[in-house]
Amino acid sequence: MNFLIITHVLHAQKASEYLAYAPYVKEMNLWLKYVDKVTIVAPLLEDKEIRPIDIAYEHDNIDFKSIPAFNLLSIKSSLQTLLVLPIIFFKIIGAMRKADHIHLRCPGNIGLIGCIAQIFFPSKTKTAKYAGNWDPKSKQPLSYRLQKRILSNTFLTKKMNVLVYGDWKNQTKNIKSFFTATYRDSDKAAVVKRTFDETIRFSFVGSLSPGKRPLLTIQTVEALRQRNYNVRLDVFGDGAKREELETYIKQNQLESFITLHGNVTADEVKKVHKTAHFMMLPSKSEGWPKVVAEAMFWGSLPIVTKISCVPYMLDEGNRGILIDPTVENAVSEIEKVLKSPSTYQEKVEKAIEWSRTYTLDTFENELKSLL
């Protein structure tokens, strides 16, 4: 089988290896176990620095077809896009013609072109992984809405399974509720029971960007401290908001109970999840936030906003704490749990049980059926 991947993910090359963002490549490597040949249509940047978070595809037969990266963020970039669009479109058409299975990664600019191109190949088997927010009621960019419309239109999109996060009502028959995973069945181990007798530990794991609202997390823990709760917060990740957060912590003298650790390894994140009472991620938008499922796997109760499929993951709050993006509401919802240790333990147990059904072993079995 010649398995074709069409993606906007930026790639780098090192000798005969092709590398890209590790969480994406790790998932794709599970698909690639079951195919004979891989064709990748994606941007390949010659001067792209290979980062610690980049890893290589694991396959002996890769045909990489480089296309230009593009965006529509300015007049200049939009004009440049008009010049490269025909090149990208016909490269994708050519690759689809030779493929046995077409796999689209959406949402993204390249994904949108792929959505249009696949219309011309109704007889080929296809899958699309929509890694963003599939919530029909959410406000999204025009290109995202177009991709969702094309993918869910069974007249334009034939012989395709569209994998989305969450379970949404009134969907076409080709829309399949899916998930992503980090751990294997063999990783399941006993979880250390947490109590509120000593320091109550909160974690934030994610990019320090406006979309993740790290400042809201810091201000929430600060407010809990002001209410005489013995709490501390450890922040893991880096990004554009780091300097602002450092300034806020220093100006408000929060250093004794709030620490910014920067980027850390996956093993270190696992250690955090094994000891923290809560993992807070008040994002503006998510697809399937793996860090939430990872925290649940190790007994760290997630505190998250009511977005995308997160309420589904948390069973409307039975497996975690759902908040509105304000300090007042977050503190109010967290206090309900802090004042009832039995409620906390019940939620943690439900979170562990649910998250441990979504392992890489289950994921691979699902992929086999799709291929």
Strand stretches in the chain, DSSP E: 2-6, 12-14, 17-21, 37-43, 54-56, 62-67, 101-106, 125-130, 160-165, 175-178, 200-205, 231-236, 258-262, 278-281, 301-305, 321-323
Q: What local confidence, expressed as pLDDT, does residue 75 receive?
A: 76
The continuous run of DSSP H or E covering 79 comes out as: helix 75-98
CA distances from 246 to 80, 161, 217, 218, 243 (A): 39, 45, 13, 11, 5
Q: Which domains does the chain have, with CATH numbers?
A: 2-181+361-370 (3.40.50), 189-355 (3.40.50.2000)
Q: What local confidence, expressed as pLDDT, does residue 250 receive?
A: 97
Pairing mode, strands 258-262 and 278-281: unpaired
Q: Are 82 and 42 in contact (CB under 8 A)?
A: no
Question: SS3 of 209, please?
Answer: coil
Identify the CA nearest to 123 among candidates 101, 143, 147, 145: 101
Q: What local confidence, expressed as pLDDT, does residue 73 receive?
A: 66
Instruction: Say which range, 74-78, 155-159, 292-296, 344-348, has the weakest mean pLDDT.
Output: 74-78
**DSSP letters of 315-366?**
GGGTTSEEE-SSHHHHHHHHHHHHT-HHHHHHHHHHHHHHHTTS-HHHHHHH
As a whole number of angstroms, the distance between CA 347 and CA 356 comes to 14
Q: How confident is the model at residue 41 (pLDDT cuts 50, 70, 90)?
A: very high
Q: How confident is the model at residue 46 (pLDDT cuts 50, 70, 90)?
A: confident
Q: Are 101 and 125 in contact (CB under 8 A)?
A: yes
Tell me the pTM: 0.82
Instruction: Quick: pLDDT tens for 250-277.
Output: 999 999 999 999 988 889 999 999 999 9
Q: What local confidence, expressed as pLDDT, does residue 288 receive?
A: 82
Q: What local confidence, expressed as pLDDT, does residue 166 receive?
A: 85
36 contacts: CB under 8 Å, gap ≥ 6: 1, 2, 61
Other beta carbons within 10 angstroms of residue 73's beta carbon come to 9
- How high is the mean pLDDT of the chain? 93
Average pLDDT over residues 325-339: 98
Q: Are 207 and 197 in contact (CB under 8 A)?
A: no
Could you tell me the sign of the dihedral formed by the alpha carbons of 200, 201, 204, 210, in that order?
A: positive
As a whole number of angstroms, the distance between CA 284 and CA 212 comes to 6
Q: What local confidence, expressed as pLDDT, does residue 188 receive?
A: 95
Q: How confident is the model at residue 119 (pLDDT cuts 50, 70, 90)?
A: very high
Instruction: Quick: pLDDT tens for 53-107.
Output: 889 999 999 999 999 887 766 777 677 778 889 999 999 999 999 999 999 999 9
**DSSP label of 198:** S
Q: What local confidence, expressed as pLDDT, does residue 72 receive?
A: 65
Residue 36 has pLDDT above 90, yes or no: yes
120 contacts: CB under 8 Å, gap ≥ 6: 93, 96
Asked, as a colleague might, if the bond just before 107 is cis with ω within 30 of 0, I would say yes
Average pLDDT over residues 38-55: 86
Half-sphere exposure of 80 (CA within 13 A, CB side): 10
Q: Calculate Rg over the CA atoms of the chain.
A: 22
Vertex 357 angle, CA 360 and 6, to 5°: 40
CA distances from 6 to 91, 147, 171 (A): 10, 14, 24
Considering only residues 167 and 154, tell me which one the structure prediction assigns the higher pLDDT: 154
Question: What interhelical angle do 214-226 and 242-251 show, nearest 10?
Answer: 20
Q: What local confidence, expressed as pLDDT, does residue 136 receive?
A: 86
Q: How confident is the model at residue 114 (pLDDT cuts 50, 70, 90)?
A: very high
187 contacts: CB under 8 Å, gap ≥ 6: 297, 359
Average pLDDT over residues 319-329: 98
Average pLDDT over residues 127-141: 89
Q: How confident is the model at residue 52 (pLDDT cuts 50, 70, 90)?
A: confident
Q: What local confidence, expressed as pLDDT, does residue 56 receive?
A: 96
Instruction: Quick: pLDDT tens for 180-214.
Output: 888 999 999 999 999 999 999 999 999 999 999 99
**DSSP label of 44:** B
